[in-house]
Chains A and B, each alone.
Chain A
Amino acid sequence: MREPDAPAQARTSPRLALLMTPAFAWLGLLIVLPHVELAVLSFRAQVGPRHYVPSLLQYRTFFDQPEYWRTFLRTAWMSVVATFATLCLALPIAWVIAKIARGRASAWLLLACLIPFWISETVRTLGWMILLRQSGVLPALLVDLGITAHPVELLYRDSTIMVGLVYNSMLFMIVPLISSLESLDNSLIEAAYDLGAGGLTVLRKIVIPHAAPGITAGCIIVFMLTLGDYITPTLLGGKDSGWFTEQIYTQFITRFNWAQGAAFGFLLLGLSTAIVVLGLKITGQRFGDVMGRR
């Protein structure tokens, strides 16, 4: 590849400026400025008609009301658990696709994993509702098998939310895992085996260190999607599921308390950014490398 024509274009030529316009319009008007607006909204309090002063009132409300910070912690914790569970369940499948299955079989397996995610989360959640609700398929099956005497309600539990979250996240974990496992040289594993290493040692000393970029990318994406999920917790978890995105929705749309909603939004954004940064720090990777590889 040739060098970009640096001397001619180091100064902003009209053509370059034109090419930059869409990017700046997009990122400036739809990402940067809206978030500035959200920050301004969250850090002020109304003291009179059309009169505002800088304030931490909204954030104080968050810490004063146990309902709010409990929901926040609960959302964060459940997202961590869901991310970890997704990783554990996805790793064997990614291993099979990348290392064990060959040629067509591997391609078909990958395709099979992709298919459910061409369809919206709303549809997938509908499927789980039909399966799990009291009048649904699984409770009826449990009665038929004689395991329970009456149909049990399997919806509206935390474990149900977890099933939905893990299910919806699967693809976003499998794909980065496969791409990082494929580049692992089989001879390394053979060498380790010849030197007497068992399966667990190989996993710990060779596979996981090598796949770290893929694991990080997968975990970051899954955590962020889970944290920001709305459909799964509200539909599978029922009325008192308590997911933080629901609080944001309630403040913004139902109560029209934008200042409070903005503060909640910022807290959620802060948490998701913190996890992204932490994930990158721990594995010593750069954001552009992890995200750009998808």
Chain B
Amino acid sequence: MIPSLPRPAWLRVGTALYVATFLAVLFLPLVVISVFAFNDAPYPAPPWHGFTLDWFFADTRTGRLGMFHDGELMASIWTSCKVGLWVTLLSVLVGLANAFLVEHHDFRGKQLLSIMMLVPLVIPGVILGVSILAFASRIAQFASGHFDLYLRFLRPGLPLVVLGQFSYIATIATLTLRARLSRFDRTLEDAALNLGASRAAVFRTVLLPYLRPALVGAAMICFLLSFADFNTTLMLVGGSPPLTVLMYGRMHEGATPVLNAVSLFLMVASALLALALIRRAPRP
């Protein structure tokens, strides 16, 4: 019940307990990961053997390999970053075009098109992955059969991973940018045009500054989503796995605390990114 109504004591206590338990469970896995990133033992399991930074910095002299010296791990982080940057760039650009298309223009079939733009969100990621895999392979076969072209980027690998992630992250970018653009006062645009500004000048000096916070926000969300994606990536990945896929493989083999270390590193990094996002968010 709401605060303006009398709430019996058991309900107040019960609510408080529920919220506390809920938050505890929510953070439990993250706390456990962080703690065992510093445990001086070869497996991330109790009991506690003392504090160490080996899982971050050790360079095999102690028989341990810390994350910053683990070449495979570092390469996969770099791969994830590259993929993330491409996905972000593509998604934000396409999302921007879509936002203008739907918010500022009218044409036949607009309703259908704007619904189509939402569809990627309700297709399971695994299916997005396999369908793009199959279609790309069909084009590659066609190209090599009819034109004697060998299109390497259509075989499983990072270009396909980028396209696969982009296929649904573009929807998120579109939604974010549309939400901002729909609140834009178009008389500002008219005023600028009346005063003799060219369309390009209006875009650069009026629309772009207005959209800036949403562009930054969308870019950060796209990057985080791309970095965290697993389902679509798994189906399209070739020889060089991004971080999530590499971690998954190692977790199957039996994890070492290096994975805890890299997880903690990711938590700190995404927390910083999230903080930056919150600080930049326009006040409502």
Q: Beta-carbon contacts of A237-251 to B below 8 Å, as 1s and 0s? A: 000000001001100
- A261–B123 Cα gap in the complex (Å)? 16
Q: Beta-carbon contacts of B87-113 to A below 8 Å, as 1s and 0s? A: 000000110011011001111100101
| Contact status A119-B126, CB under 8 Å | no
Kindly identify which residue among B2, B29, B94, B116 contacts A124, using a CB–CB cutoff of 8 Å.
B29
**Which residues, 253 to 276 on B, are CB-close (under 8 Å) to A?**
255, 259-260, 263, 266-267, 270-271, 273-274
B279 at the interface (CB under 8 A from A): no
Q: Beta-carbon contacts of B230-273 to A below 8 Å, as 1s and 0s? A: 11001100000000100110011001000110010011001101
A282 at the interface (CB under 8 A from B): no
**Chain A residues within 8 Å of chain B by Cβ, number:** 94
- CB contacts (< 8 Å) of B124 on chain A: these are 224, 227-228, 245, 268-269, 272
Kindly identify which residue among A21, A26, A112, A230 contacts B231, using a CB–CB cutoff of 8 Å.
A230
Kindly identify which residue among A12, A34, A228, A235 contacts B131, using a CB–CB cutoff of 8 Å.
A34
| Contact status A135-B32, CB under 8 Å | no
- CB contacts (< 8 Å) of A190 on chain B: these are 2, 4-5
Q: Beta-carbon contacts of B220-237 to A below 8 Å, as 1s and 0s? A: 000010011111001100
Kindly identify which residue among A118, A119, A120, A135 contacts B230, using a CB–CB cutoff of 8 Å.
A120
- CB contacts (< 8 Å) of A109 on chain B: these are 19
| Contact status B234-A269, CB under 8 Å | no
Q: A19-B105, A26-B94 are in contact. Are A137 and B4 (CB under 8 A)?
A: no
Kindly identify which residue among A20, A135, A249 contacts B43, using a CB–CB cutoff of 8 Å.
A135
Kindly identify which residue among B107, B126, B187 contacts A12, using a CB–CB cutoff of 8 Å.
B107
A52 at the interface (CB under 8 A from B): no
- CB contacts (< 8 Å) of A81 on chain B: these are none
Q: A41-B134, A137-B46, A230-B126 are in contact. Are A170 and B26 (CB under 8 A)?
A: yes
- CB contacts (< 8 Å) of B231 on chain A: these are 228-230, 245
| Contact status A228-B186, CB under 8 Å | no
Q: A26-B170, A115-B271 are in contact. Are A193 and B1 (CB under 8 A)?
A: yes
- CB contacts (< 8 Å) of A202 on chain B: these are 1
- A33–B266 Cα gap in the complex (Å)? 36
- CB contacts (< 8 Å) of A112 on chain B: these are 23, 26-27
A74 at the interface (CB under 8 A from B): no
| Contact status B113-A23, CB under 8 Å | yes
- CB contacts (< 8 Å) of B22 on chain A: these are 89, 93
Q: A22-B94, A23-B97 are in contact. Are A30 and B274 (CB under 8 A)?
A: no
A103 at the interface (CB under 8 A from B): no
A196 at the interface (CB under 8 A from B): no
Question: Quick one: closest B residue to A203, CB to CB?
Answer: B1
- CB contacts (< 8 Å) of B255 on chain A: these are 126, 129-130
**Which residues, 26 to 49 on B, are CB-close (under 8 Å) to A?**
26-30, 32-33, 36, 43-47
- A200–B12 Cα gap in the complex (Å)? 16
- Extra A-B contacts (5), CB below 8 Å, given A2-B190, A136-B45, A230-B234: A16-B107, A41-B134, A140-B46, A186-B4, A265-B130
Using CB atoms and an 8 Å cutoff, list the residues of chain B in contact with chain A: 1-5, 15, 18-19, 22-23, 25-30, 32-33, 36, 43-47, 93-94, 97-98, 100-101, 104-108, 111, 113-128, 130-135, 138, 163-164, 166-167, 170, 175, 186-187, 190, 224, 227-231, 234-235, 244, 247-248, 251-252, 255, 259-260, 263, 266-267, 270-271, 273-274, 278
Using CB atoms and an 8 Å cutoff, list the residues of chain A in contact with chain B: 1-2, 4-6, 9-10, 12, 16, 19-23, 26-27, 29-31, 33-35, 37-38, 41, 89, 92-93, 96, 99-100, 102, 109, 111-116, 118-131, 133, 135-137, 140, 167, 170, 186, 189-190, 193, 199, 202, 220-221, 224, 227-231, 235, 245, 248-249, 252-253, 258, 261-262, 265, 268-269, 272-273, 276, 287-288, 291-292, 294
Smallest CB-CB A-B distances: 7 pairs: A127-B29, A228-B124, A120-B228, A34-B131, A34-B135, A4-B106, A30-B167
